[in-house]
């Protein structure tokens, strides 16, 4: 009966995805159908409802709606423009300078807002037109924007790292994950910049004017309080002054006061901001509900143990196992959103990698970077569609330009997967 339940679970899930049923509903329906093969209808449905409810009964998850709200305030509060101007003053004079500005601004805004989608829409809407004026194809601008926006999911504060901390069952703390994401996120940003330098020199893209120290200082002062949010939030968590959840509330208050002081938003704008962030939060929380139910069903059916035994018995080389897990996650990422993927596959693969000596914090960075690549690729590719829409370019044109950037992201993924010191240097330094 267990094998039949597993078959029904996966067949129904993929069938629902193929007919374009939303991911959260696909997860919930397939989980319910599979469980009803083992127990009666009433207790089965009650169990699913109970697992969905208890799945979000976590203090740590309170950080997500607040970080979403903080990101929405920043998106509408003029912070993106200040970060772009500061980034431009630093790197615009280099070959392909505006593309560097796009990457650096996306890294800064994505890190501050904790949202790749917010970074792609806020930075892309400003930079695409500027880059086109200097001869950059819109498809290239979109590709730079899409891939560089993922760095904000690694550089803290990051909602998806909070979700992973929940899925890891407490074996990886939010503070350790936050500090571990810095070097991989920065490495990814620099790798994208390296490819931009290569094509900028070959295609002779223009250089911008070199900023004087006085101009750099002026733009830094204007962006200072936006950048300070990173130090306040992450520094407070690492120092143990407050938890990630408390930090998210501080981020909201800080962003709201800063945006009001800048004068870019008014008090009357807050109802629409709250409504927009509420919609985003409801989608994320519903995904978490259904994903936690499916994760429980996996445990109920013994799927993690089956996969763990299969991998450990069939691939006795730990490098081969790590590579196989990476390939599976890359495939999963192409058709599943990050939140359910983390919640569903962490309990499956975490026991395998920890058995082989991989730190749970390191694996958290690996799984998130895998899924960062997934949200840049079709058919689901949330970031791909947002970036293409903002740039007003067809997805087909963007994909052609996007391929080299995806290969660079995969190369960085391999480095981070097999060189754990990249992720673990800072957590070990701070003894987290």
Domain's final residue, options 300, 323, 358: 300
Band the pLDDT of 292: cuts 50, 70, 90.
confident
Q: Do 148 and 249 sit in the same domain of this protein?
A: yes
Q: Do 364 and 405 sit in the same domain of this protein?
A: yes
Q: Do 307 and 349 sit in the same domain of this protein?
A: yes
Judge whether 344 lies within some domain: yes
Work out the widest C-alpha separation in the chain, in whole angstroms: 73
Domain count, the chain: 2
pLDDT for the residue 2: 67
Judge whether 270 lies within some domain: no
Q: What is the pLDDT of residues 323-344, one digit of tens each?
A: 999 999 999 888 888 888 898 8
Judge whether 423 lies within some domain: yes
pLDDT for the residue 112: 76
Judge whether 276 lies within some domain: no
pLDDT for the residue 203: 85
Domain's final residue, options 276, 300, 324: 300
CA nearest to 86, candidates 258, 227, 259: 227
Judge whether 411 lies within some domain: yes
Token output for 174: 């939010």
pLDDT for the residue 411: 97
Give the residue numbers spanning the domain of 111: 56-265+302-429
Q: What is the pLDDT of residues 365-416, one digit of tens each?
A: 999 999 999 999 987 788 888 899 888 898 889 999 999 999 999 999 999 9
Q: Do 313 and 193 sit in the same domain of this protein?
A: yes
Judge whether 271 lies within some domain: no
DSSP one-letter string for 318-383: HHHHHHHHHHHHHHHHTTS-HHHHHHHHHHHHHHHHHHTT--HHHHHHHHHHHHHHHTTSTTT-HH
Q: Do 344 and 292 sit in the same domain of this protein?
A: no
240 Rama class: left (phi>0) / alpha (psi -120 to 50) / beta:
left
Judge whether 160 lies within some domain: yes
Q: Do 290 and 421 sit in the same domain of this protein?
A: no
CA nearest to 185, candidates 418, 430, 420, 412: 412
Residue 297's SS3 state is helix
pLDDT for the residue 108: 83
pTM of structure: 0.88
Q: Do 32 and 115 sit in the same domain of this protein?
A: no
Domain's final residue, options 242, 276, 300: 300
Q: Do 19 and 131 sit in the same domain of this protein?
A: no
Q: Do 242 and 375 sit in the same domain of this protein?
A: yes
Q: What is the pLDDT of residues 342-374, one digit of tens each?
A: 988 998 999 999 988 999 999 999 999 999 999
pLDDT for the residue 134: 81
Q: Do 38 and 70 sit in the same domain of this protein?
A: no
pLDDT for the residue 325: 93
Ranked by mean pLDDT, which of 20-29, 33-42, 318-327 comes out on top?
A: 318-327
Q: Do 36 and 71 sit in the same domain of this protein?
A: no
19 vs 239: CA distance, rounded Å: 48
Band the pLDDT of 284: cuts 50, 70, 90.
confident
361 vs 424: CA distance, rounded Å: 8
pLDDT for the residue 74: 81
pLDDT for the residue 424: 96
Q: What is the pLDDT of residues 78-118, one digit of tens each?
A: 777 788 888 888 887 888 788 888 898 888 887 777 778 87
pLDDT for the residue 228: 87
Q: Check pLDDT > 70 for residue 246.
A: yes
Judge whether 329 lies within some domain: yes
Average pLDDT, the chain: 87
Q: Which long-range contacts (CB under 8 A, 24 or more apart) does 182-185 make?
A: 182/154, 182/155, 182/156, 182/426, 183/422, 183/423, 183/425, 183/426, 184/154, 184/365, 184/369, 184/412, 184/416, 184/422, 184/423, 185/107, 185/111, 185/151, 185/152, 185/153, 185/154, 185/155
Q: Do 38 and 119 sit in the same domain of this protein?
A: no
């Amino acid at each position: 009966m267990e094998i039949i339940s597993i078959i029904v679970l996966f067949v129904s899930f993929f069938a629902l995805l193929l007919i374009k049923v939303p991911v959260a509903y696909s997860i919930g329906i397939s989980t319910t159908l599979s469980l009803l093969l083992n127990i009666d209808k009433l207790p089965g449905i009650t169990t699913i409802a109970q697992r969905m409810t208890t799945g979000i009964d976590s203090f740590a998850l309170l950080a997500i709606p607040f970080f979403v709200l903080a990101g929405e305030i920043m998106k509408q509060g003029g912070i993106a423009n200040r970060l772009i101007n500061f980034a431009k003053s630093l790197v615009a004079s280099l070959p392909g300078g505006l593309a560097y500005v796009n990457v650096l601004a996306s890294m800064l805004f994505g890190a501050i807002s904790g949202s790749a989608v917010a970074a792609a829409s806020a930075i892309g809407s400003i930079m695409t037109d500027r880059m086109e004026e200097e001869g950059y194809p819109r498809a290239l601008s979109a590709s730079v924007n899409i891939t560089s926006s993922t760095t904000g999911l690694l550089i803290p504060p990051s909602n998806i790292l909070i979700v992973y901390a929940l899925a890891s069952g407490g074996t990886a703390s939010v503070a350790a994950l936050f500090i571990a994401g810095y070097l991989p996120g920065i490495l990814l940003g620099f790798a994208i910049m390296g490819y931009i330098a290569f094509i900028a020199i070959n295609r002779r893209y223009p250089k911008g004017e070199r900023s004087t120290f006085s101009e750099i200082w002026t733009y830094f002062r204007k962006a200072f309080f936006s950048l300070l949010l990173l130090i306040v939030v992450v520094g407070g968590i690492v120092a143990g002054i407050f938890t990630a959840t408390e930090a998210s509330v501080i981020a909201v208050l800080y962003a709201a006061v800063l945006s009001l002081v800048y004068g870019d938003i008014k008090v009357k704008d807050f109802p629409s901001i709250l409504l927009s962030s509420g919609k985003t939060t409801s989608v994320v929380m519903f995904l978490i509900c259904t994903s936690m139910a499916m994760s429980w069903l996996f445990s109920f059916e013994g799927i993690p143990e089956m996969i763990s035994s299969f991998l450990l018995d069939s691939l006795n080389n730990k490098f081969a196992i790590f590579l196989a897990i990476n390939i599976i996650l890359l495939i999963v990422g192409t058709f599943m959103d990050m939140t359910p993927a983390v919640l569903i596959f962490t309990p499956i693969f975490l026991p395998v990698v920890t058995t082989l000596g991989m730190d749970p914090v390191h694996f958290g960075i690996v799984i998130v970077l895998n899924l960062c690549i997934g949200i840049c690729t079709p058919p689901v590719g949330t970031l791909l569609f947002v970036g293409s829409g903002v740039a007003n370019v067809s997805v087909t044109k963007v994909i052609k330009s996007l391929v080299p950037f995806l290969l660079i992201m995969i190369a960085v993924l391999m480095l981070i997967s097999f060189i754990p010191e990249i992720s673990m240097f800072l957590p070990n330094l701070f003894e987290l």
